[in-house]
Structure 1
């Protein structure tokens, strides 16, 4: 049986003991469709039928349940991206590189990179970490090359 996005998102909400509401399904659909992390203001501009407080509560609930994770852009704005299936309630496994493009300001989650082991001094017990890189994304590199030629 082929699972549509809606049934996949409904199953995700059910797994995390969240009610299957229209606004929650819309937010999941928007975040899953993006290849970059997305800020609350960006979501508000697209989801104009969901008020700011409701969207804030949805994002908070999703983050607490391990459905999405929060990453900050170069301006300090919180952006949200879908978590991997390894994330759990109150314990994220989003230990991947977050790439901030200095031109378009998009934040990319680069899950496919193998990161080195984190060797901390005795007495330190990590519960997670965030790794950022800044530079120019492929899209902006391509646009710059077109302008230069």
Structure 2
């Protein structure tokens, strides 16, 4: 498992430090996106700044993407295999459960291309569907 995580980091040109491996392992084990606060709770003895920098490094290198689900703090989820975080190709819908507050990536549901006026250049887009997840309705 550690070798797989190291390889995943190396593929994205990220040096595999002990903390980065631990954070990647935590993200890999999550079904839902995770906030910095949630990650901090999982790593009680870790420095918040180190965790934040790790997430930012992952984001800058296309390993994770951030999600603004309207709760005031971004959440982070692993990018799907082959994702380049390209606004024209890789953007997908997210689902936020208003009961349990979990946010899920729905990579099979792509955000449709929006043709902006020529004087505008898009840099990011975010589509969050809010409702109740299957875990909370059942």
Higher alpha-carbon Rg: 1
Deviation at 1:121, TM superposition (A): 3.6
- The aligned residue for residue 107 of structure 2 is 111
* Pairwise CA RMSD: 1.9
User: Where in structure 1 are there 5+ consecutive unaligned residues?
Assistant: 143-149
Deviation at 1:94, TM superposition (A): 4.6
Question: TM-score with structure 2 length normalisation?
Answer: 0.86
Higher relative contact order (CA 8 A, sep 6+): 2
Deviation at 1:19, TM superposition (A): 1.9
Question: TM-score with structure 1 length normalisation?
Answer: 0.81
Name the CA distance, whole Å, in 1 between partners of 2:41 and 2:108. Answer: 30
Deviation at 1:53, TM superposition (A): 1.3
Q: Is the 8 A contact 1:97 1:113 kept in 2?
A: yes
Deviations 1:52-97 (A, max 9, x none): 1111110111111111011123321111000122226xx5665111
Deviation at 1:129, TM superposition (A): 1.7
Name the CA distance, whole Å, in 2 between partners of 1:39 and 1:120. Answer: 31
Q: Is the 8 A contact 1:73 1:106 kept in 2?
A: no
Q: Is the 8 A contact 1:73 1:105 kept in 2?
A: no
